Structure 1
Amino acid sequence: MLELCEPGHIEKTPSYVNTGQHVFEVDEFYGENQGLIVAEVELSSEDEVFEKPDWLEEEVTGDVKYYNSMLSKQPYSKW
């Protein structure tokens, strides 16, 4: 079945961090994406206010280079 998939794969470990009223899914990447850590939070609307943790840095929402499909083709280590 894996032979039918596009080349490249993503290695990552998810963790869940409670901050205020929200839970962040934090993905730590390995392999060719070693060193990349991405956090995601689900909001009920685009304008929902949430507590931004101190460890949260650059906003990358909508930046396609961070999508798993792109990371499998153009890994973080090659940026």
Structure 2
Amino acid sequence: MIEIERKFLVTSNAFKEEAFSKNRIKQGYLSAVPERTVRVRIKGNKAFLTIKGASSESGMSRFEWEKEVLINEAESLLLLCEKGIIDKTRYEVKVGEHTYEVDEFYGENEGLIMAEIELKSETEIFEKPLWLGQEVTRDSRYYNAYLSKNSFINW
């Protein structure tokens, strides 16, 4: 139940041609404090409730628990969420042995494109595609919970 991931900015739209999957995501936060986040997400035709713990010192690891819920339940829960619903399209791109999740944000976070890769360990080696830019794993401004309250267009 420990999630290990690294985050990067994306420098071009080349990933779109390489994507094998694409889903619109709408998500909100019932709690968005750094020690614990409780997220409601509708991704395509599925919905999830996710609880995440505080990040490790490296910013790469944290506790994560996720449960699928009914879409109508998620829609009701979204109405209870804190201000700042995240709207984005997620592209999945296979690179080597890993899959990158590349999020293109809309609305108040328009212009931000970010890639995440989940790893088995913090020291795992992985292939970096040409469109991968600066690493932002340790920068909490790039957490979706932060973006929901502090829009990218206002930075």
- TM class by shorter chain equals over 0.9
Q: TM-score, normalised by structure 2?
A: 0.49
Which residue of structure 2 aligns with residue 58 of structure 1?
Answer: 134
Amino acid at match of 1:33: N
Q: TM-score, normalised by structure 1?
A: 0.94
How far the C-alpha of 1:8 sits from its partner, in A, is 1.1
1:6 aligns with 2:82: yes
Q: Please state which structure has a larger fraction of its residues in helix.
A: 1
* CA distance in structure 1 between the partners assigned to 2:154 and 2:107 by the alignment: 12
* CA distance in structure 2 between the partners assigned to 1:71 and 1:45 by the alignment: 26
Which residue of structure 2 aligns with residue 43 of structure 1?
Answer: 119
Of stretches 20-29 and 3-12 in structure 1, the one that deviates more from structure 2 is 3-12
Listed as ranges, the gaps of 5+ residues in structure 2 are: 1-75
CA RMSD after TM alignment: 1.0
* CA distance in structure 2 between the partners assigned to 1:56 and 1:11 by the alignment: 22
Listed as ranges, the gaps of 5+ residues in structure 1 are: none
* CA distance in structure 2 between the partners assigned to 1:3 and 1:22 by the alignment: 35
Divergent runs of 4+, >3 A: none
How far the C-alpha of 1:3 sits from its partner, in A, is 3.7
Which residue of structure 2 aligns with residue 22 of structure 1?
Answer: 98
Aligned length: 79
Match of 1:24, SS?
strand
**1:32-76: CA deviation from partner (whole Å, max 9, x where unpaired):** 101101101111101111111110001011211011111011111
Amino acid at match of 1:72: S
* CA distance in structure 2 between the partners assigned to 1:74 and 1:41 by the alignment: 23
Q: Please state which structure has a larger fraction of its residues in strand.
A: 2
How far the C-alpha of 1:4 sits from its partner, in A, is 2.2
* CA distance in structure 2 between the partners assigned to 1:5 and 1:75 by the alignment: 16
Of stretches 2-11 and 43-52 in structure 1, the one that deviates more from structure 2 is 2-11
